[in-house]
Structure 1
C-alpha cells in the first residue's frame, strides 16, 4: 500500500479521524489517503463488501462492525460522516449530542489534499471510475507521478488511492450528495483545474428532484474551472454540448467517429478506424482533423473509446509525454468490478460489472458482445440502486437488455422502500422480454439464480453479472457450482 513521504507527513499535524461509513468506496479510499498522510484512522460500518474490505484490512485500519455510540470512545479529533449516514443512526446521534467536530468526506479531501494542486477531476453520469483510473495510469506512464482518489480498485496500482509529491491529483468527481447536512454534490468541493465531463444523463432520482436540478449540478461544476484550466467535454452527449459553451476555460471536445476536426461544432478529438476484438481495441486518434497517434488498449466497447479520448485530451492539456500516454493506454489493466473477468469454468466465462443505469447496462452488454462475438450472453441483473428500482426507468431497462440472449432479473433491494406505483415491476419486465422472444426469468435470490443457471450451461456462455452491490457473492458461487 502507498506510504507517506517525509514531505507529506511533515506538512501536516497528525490528527485522529474517525469515519462513520468507512466501508464505502470513497470513504475507504479517503481512509487510505489519511493514513498515508500520517493521520490516525478509525471507523465504523456494517456489511462491508469487496474490494474495500480487503483494502481496509491491508491498510491495517481497524473499524467497528455496526454503528454504536461506543465507537466514539476513542475520542477522535474529527468525525467524517459518510453520505450514506442519516439522522437516526445511533453513532451520528452521539456525535451531535457530544458536540464533536464533524464534517464531510469531500471537505476533508479538499482541505487536506487538493488545495494548491492541479486537480484533474473526472465527472459524468457514466464511466467515471474507469476514466479516472485510466487517467491516473497514463499520467504515471508519462512520468508525472500523480496522486489519485478513485471509486474502485485500479488494478495497475492495486489500490483506489495514492498520495505523492506531484502537483497533479486525479480524482473521481461524483455528483451524488455530500452529506446529510450538505445536499450539494461532492464534485463541487473538488477544485477542478482540468475537468472531464464524459456525459450527462438523468440519474440519482433519490437526490435530484428532476433533470433540471441534475443538469444544474454539472453546469456549476463546469463553472468552477479556471480560465487557465481546461474543460474536456464529451460531444456525443447532447447535454454536455449544451452546457460546455458556458465554460470560462478552453474546451477540448471529444467524440466517437467524427473526424471533422472541431469545425462547425464537431469534436476536436475523434477516433477513426476503430477495431474491436477479444484482446481489446485499436483505433487512430485525430486532433483537429490531424492524426495524433495509434492507440492499442485492452479496453473494449464504444464507451471506452470515448474514455480513452477523454484522458488523451486531458493529458495533452497538462503537457504529458505522448509516448508515455500511448504506453499507458496499451498497458492499462482496468478496474475491479468494471467488466472484470472473475473466472472461466467448463467454457463458461463469468464477468462482474458495476453497471446499474439503463445506459450503462446497454453499453456494457454491447461491449461484451464486441469482445466475445458469437457467444451467448446471459445478463444477470440486480436492481439495487434507487434509480434501478424506480418505475419511471422500467421502459429504459426493457430496451437496455436488447443485446443479451438471456436475462435473469433478481429481486429489488429493500423493496419496502417503494410502493406499487413507484417500484419497478419485475414480472412486467420479464413478460415484455418474453413477448419479444427473449429467454427471461425473475429469480429474486442469488442462490436460486446459481441453482437454476449452473446445470443449464453447455459451455461457451458469457455470464455478465451487473450490480452496484455485493449481490450475495453470486460470482464466486456460480463459478464454484460450475466447478462441482
Structure 2
C-alpha cells in the first residue's frame, strides 16, 4: 500500500492554516507542521487529530522530506526554514492555493466575502445546508457552535456541481502569502459568492478602498455564468465592484426590489431580498416567512438574508433555511456571554472595526434597553494599531454608557481620539489598572461588552474573578 502524501505546514497554529491541516488529515494526507507559538487550544486540537507539531522554524524540519511545504501568510522572507526551502529549490505552495487544487476543485464552493460578518454568515450558511441534509464541508475562521469544529470535509452524498459535495468557506480579502499578494479568495473559484459588505480595512496592505474594490472585482471575475453573486444592496462600494463588469446573475439583499441600488446600480443588479422590523423575509416583494431566533442586531439580519439567498442557490427552500436559522447557535466570540457575577453580565465579542463596534453595541442596546453598557475595547487589529480608524471610534461607541480602552502598545493617542466622549471614556496603558477601573464602577444590572480580535490578556475571566 502506498504511503499517504505528506504536507508540512509553516504557520500551522493560525485558525485558517489549522483548518487546512484538519481537512488535509481527513482527506488522508500525512500532516505535520510548525509555528512560532505552539500552545493550546490550537495545539491540542491538532495533536488530537494525530498531527505532529514542531515549535519554531528550525531547518532540521527539512529532514521530514514532505512532498510539499504549505506556507501560511505569517511566514516572511528571513524566516530560516523558508530561506532554506528557497535555497534548496524545494516545492512549496500557499495555503489557499493548496486548498483550491487539492480539496475545492470538484466542490460546489460557497464563498462568503466581506469586511464584516464573514464568520457568522458562513456559519449560518453551513448550518442551513447541514439542516437540509446536504452535509457540507466548511472552513470557517471561528467555531460554529452548531458544529463544534471550524473545518471539515463534505460528504459527496450531499451532491453539488462536480459531485464532490458543497463547501462553505470564509473568503478573506487579506493577501495570500509573501510570494502571492493577491487576496486569498481569488483561489477559491466559488459557484456561489456572497459579497456581504465592503469598507476600508487592512491598512497594512491596502492603500485605500479602491484597492480593496479591485480585489473584490477579481473575485467576481472568477464566478461562473451559471453561478450566483449575492450582494449587499446598501453598499455603494459593492455597486462599484459590480459596475466594473459582472458575468453572473446577481441577487441583492438589504433593500426592497423597487429601491434604486447605490450609485445608480446598473447592469447586473437583479432580484432583491429584504427584511422588515418584524423580521419577515421577502424575496422579490413576496414574503417568504419570518426569522425566529435570539440573535441581536441589524447586522445579523443582513447576515441571515445573505445566508438564505446563498442556500437557496444551492437548492434549499427559504422556508427550510428559516427553520434552520431558528436552531442556529452563534459563533463563539460573537456576543458570547462569558459569565454573570452579582447581576453583572460579561460578554466577549470579536468586533474590532468601528462599523462592527457600532453595530455590536447598538444590538446590545436594543436587547438591554436602558440598562448600562460598559464597552471595553482593545484596538488590536493591524488597521486599528495604525490609527487609521481612530477618528471613527467615538461615534461607534455612542450607545455605550461608559467606554474603557486598553492603550498598551498603541502607536497613537487613544486619549485624544476618545476625547469627544468626555468623562464617559477611560483609557489605561496597564491591563490590571483597566480591570480595576471597570470593577470600581460596575454595578448590578450592568452589561460589560469586551471587544477585541485577540485574547485581550484573558480579561474576561480576570474581570469576572475581580467582580466576585
Q: TM-score, normalised by structure 1?
A: 0.88
Task: State the shift of 1:451 in Å.
Answer: 2.8
Give distance in 1, aligned partners of 2:444 and 2:125: 36
1:420 maps to none
After superposition, the C-alpha distances for 1:81-140 in whole angstroms (9 at most, x for unaligned) are 111211122222232233322110000110111112111100011110100011000011
Output the CA distance in 2 between the equivalents of 1:440 and 1:32: 43
Tell me the equivalent position of 2:216: 218
Looking at structure 2, the residues matched to 425 and 355 of structure 1 have their Cα atoms a distance apart, in angstroms, of 20
Cα deviation for residue 49 of structure 1 reads 7.1
Q: Deviations over 1:32-58 (max 9, x none)?
A: 101111111121223467753453244
**Superposition CA RMSD, Å:** 2.2
How big is each residue's C-alpha offset from its partner over 1:297-347, in whole Å with a ceiling of 9 and x where there is no partner? 222100000000001111111211444312210011111112211111221
Give the TM-score, by structure 2 length: 0.91
Structure 2: state its 5+ residue gaps: 159-164
For 2:291, what is the secondary structure of its paired residue? strand
Offset of residue 259 of structure 1: 6.2
Q: Secondary structure of the residue that 1:103 maps to in structure 2?
A: strand
Instruction: Mark the CA change 1:135 to 1:457 in structure 2 (over 3 Å): closer, same or farther.
Output: same
Q: Once the 2 structures are TM-superposed, how far is the Cα of residue 475 of structure 1 from its aligned partner? A: 1.2
Contact 1:375 1:461 in 2 (8 A): yes
What displacement does 1:447 show? 2.9
Unaligned stretches of 5+ residues in structure 1: 1-9, 275-282, 416-422
Q: Is the 8 A contact 2:38 2:53 kept in 1?
A: no
Q: Following the alignment from structure 2 to structure 1, what is the Cα–Cα distance between the partners of residues 197 and 22? A: 29
Residue matched to 1:277: none
- The equivalent of 2:20 in structure 1 is 30
Distance 1:51 1:408, change over 3 A: farther
Q: Does 1:176 align with 2:174?
A: yes
Q: Which residue does 2:99 correspond to in 1?
A: 109
The answer to whether the 8 A contact 2:112-2:170 is kept is yes
Aligned with 2:33 (options 43, 47, 54): 43
1:16 maps to which residue? 6
Residue correspondence of structure 1 range 179-328 to structure 2 within 5 A? 179-245=177-243, 246-255=245-254, 258=256, 260=258, 268-274=272-278, 283-328=279-324
Query: Is 2:336 aligned against 1:337?
Result: no
Does residue 94 of structure 1 match 2:94?
no
CA offset digits 1:182-213 (Å, max 9, x no partner)? 00000000011110001111111111122221
Residues 421-451 of structure 1: per-residue CA shift (max 9 Å, x gap): xx431120233321xxx42111123333223
Aligned partner of 1:439 in structure 2 is: 424
Q: Give the superposition deviation at 1:261.
A: 7.7
- Aligned ranges for residues 122-133 of structure 1 at < 5 Å? 122-133=112-123
Describe the shift of the 1:255–1:323 C-alpha distance in structure 2 as closer, same or farther (beyond 3 A): closer
CA–CA distance in 2 between the matches of 1:49 and 1:330?
Answer: 36
In 1, the alpha carbon distance for the partners of 2:208 and 2:381 equals 17
Q: CA deviation at 1:221?
A: 0.7
Q: 1:326 to 1:194 in 2, by over 3 A?
A: same
Q: Distance in 2 between matches of 1:54 and 1:135?
A: 27
Kept after mapping to 1: 8 A contact 2:383/2:389 = yes
Aligned to 1:471: 456
Contact 1:384 1:412 in 2 (8 A): no
Contact kept? 1:132, 1:150, Cα under 8 Å: yes
1:21 and 1:27 in contact (8 A); partners too: yes
Aligned length: 453
Query: 1:271, CA displacement in angstroms?
Result: 0.4
Matched, 1:428 2:424: no
Q: Check if 1:383 corresponds to 2:382.
A: no
Report SS of the residue matched to 1:159. Answer: coil
Deviations 1:9-36 (A, max 9, x none): x9x9722211111111101111110111
Aligned to 1:349: 345
2:161 paired residue number = none
Shift of 1:412: 4.7
8 A contact 2:338–2:460 mirrored in 1: yes
CA contact (8 A) 1:35 1:41 kept: yes
